[in-house]
Amino acid sequence: MWKKTKALRFVVVLVVLAFIAAACGSGESAETTTASEEQDDTFTLGVSNNVVGNSWREQMICAIKAEARVRGNVDQVVLLNRDTDTAGQISDITSLISQGVDAIILNPGDPEAFNAVIEEAVDQGIVVVVVDNGVTTDAAYLVSNDQTAYGELGARWLFETLGGEGNVAYMRGIDGVGADTDRDTGFQAALADYPGITIVSEVFTDWSPTNGAQQALEILTTQEIDGIWTSGIDYSVVEQFPVAGIDYVPIVGADNNAFIGQLLNTEGLTGVAISNPPSVGGAGAAVALDVLEGKTVSRQTLLTPAAIADRSDLEEVYVEGLTEGWSSYMEIEPYTTYTSADVIACLGPGE
């Protein structure tokens, strides 16, 4: 009996050796094909994202894919999109470097932890574009939404609408995250100009629609408020007014399509949508490709938010039937070249 297994084992070893030999052989041929590929003008983009199951991030990735597809000179978008910690995202970026991508578009989970790996990528001739959240190294191109302006713009609209007086609920994002801190800076700057405004409630929604809804219901049923500022958790907060049986108060939200729909269609609701487009990813892809094509691009691109409050403007950006949680505002001039339909289709090159 055991002789048979010995023979079997021998065969297994042979197969493994053959496999190794074959692998070594194909290694050389793989190198030659890459060399010839580099001569034509197509690029490979790598994407690293560390939050999955969040519609803002989903749309950001769709915008990257759409821009890569529409540009026509990208042969592949390598997507490393998973929920992971800092060490995991660093290892994702190193595997993108190892795969020899031409550019990496990265939404970093930390402002400093990625500096070394970004510098390593740049040393190896890879263009790195950091989108949405910033990093402190100057080796990367930064493309982000101006979060300080986001906080200030909405706050000023709200305080002005309230006539400079009243009680306001301040519903923030995640404590300690860069975007939240920057928005707070803007918010406080506006607040300093309106001494008649009192912040009666300050909560962190963690940018979760369910959290935001619960907290809003609690605030609405226990406190007398004249206005709400939200850090983008808007449509689920609006839904709580009828639940609590309270008249609408002016509300500040983001450019979530569902919120814009509510502003257009709800009797008695006033509010402003401050744009924080996930298409910043598309702008990031555009910057990466511009650099690869040899154009001169500014190291830092700050997208200024728009305050959308007028009915005609709201109607213009509203997209009928868009996935819940998606943002209406998709085309970012002068950076992106795609149309909203390309982003919604969410197809990359060759898909």
Can you name the residues that pair with 107 across neighbouring β-strands?
A: 49
Counting contacts by CB under 8 A, is residue 9 touching another protein?
A: yes
Residue type, 116: A
* d(C-alpha 101, C-alpha 103), whole Å: 6
Counting contacts by CB under 8 A, is residue 85 touching another protein?
A: yes
Binds another protein (CB under 8 A): choice among 80, 140, 158, 251: 80
Binds another protein (CB under 8 A): choice among 45, 61, 96, 322: 96
Residues 105 and 63 sit within 8 Å (Cβ to Cβ): no
Q: Which stretch binds another protein (CB under 8 A): 13-21, 216-224, 293-301, 337-345?
A: 13-21
Counting contacts by CB under 8 A, is residue 40 touching another protein?
A: no
Least CB distance to another protein at residue 87 (A) = 5
Residue 101 has which token pair? 């991508």
Residue 256 has which token pair? 């979530």
Binds another protein (CB under 8 A): choice among 160, 165, 175, 293: 175
Counting contacts by CB under 8 A, is residue 99 touching another protein?
A: yes
Task: Tell me the site size for another protein, rule CB under 8 A.
Answer: 47
Residue ranges in the chain assigned as alpha helix (H): 2-37, 55-71, 86-98, 115-123, 147-161, 178-192, 209-222, 235-238, 240-244, 257-265, 280-292, 311-317, 340-345
Counting contacts by CB under 8 A, is residue 339 touching another protein?
A: no
* d(C-alpha 279, C-alpha 304), whole Å: 13
Q: Which is nearer to another protein, 18 or 243 (CB)?
A: 18
Counting contacts by CB under 8 A, is residue 92 touching another protein?
A: yes
- Eight-class DSSP state of 138: S
Cα four-point dihedral sign 172, 175, 177, 178: positive
Least CB distance to another protein at residue 111 (A) = 9
Q: Which is nearer to another protein, 31 or 41 (CB)?
A: 31
Contacts of 34 by beta carbon, 8 Å cutoff, 6+ apart? 100
Least CB distance to another protein at residue 268 (A) = 39
Least CB distance to another protein at residue 19 (A) = 6
Binds another protein (CB under 8 A): choice among 42, 55, 95, 337: 95
- What is the rounded end-to-end Cα distance, in angstroms, of the chain? 52
| Neighbouring C-beta atoms of residue 348, cutoff 10 Å | 20
* d(C-alpha 178, C-alpha 192), whole Å: 21
Q: Which is nearer to another protein, 95 or 211 (CB)?
A: 95
Can you name the residues that pair with 254 across neighbouring β-strands?
A: 274
Binds another protein (CB under 8 A): choice among 30, 243, 264, 341: 30
Radius of gyration of the chain (CA): 25
Binds another protein (CB under 8 A): choice among 112, 138, 165, 315: 112
Counting contacts by CB under 8 A, is residue 115 touching another protein?
A: yes
Helix (H) or strand (E) holding 204: strand 197-204
List interacting residues with another protein (CB under 8 A).
1-2, 6, 9, 16, 19-20, 23-24, 26-27, 30-31, 34, 52, 76, 78-83, 85-87, 90-92, 94-100, 109-110, 112-113, 115-117, 119-120, 124, 175-176
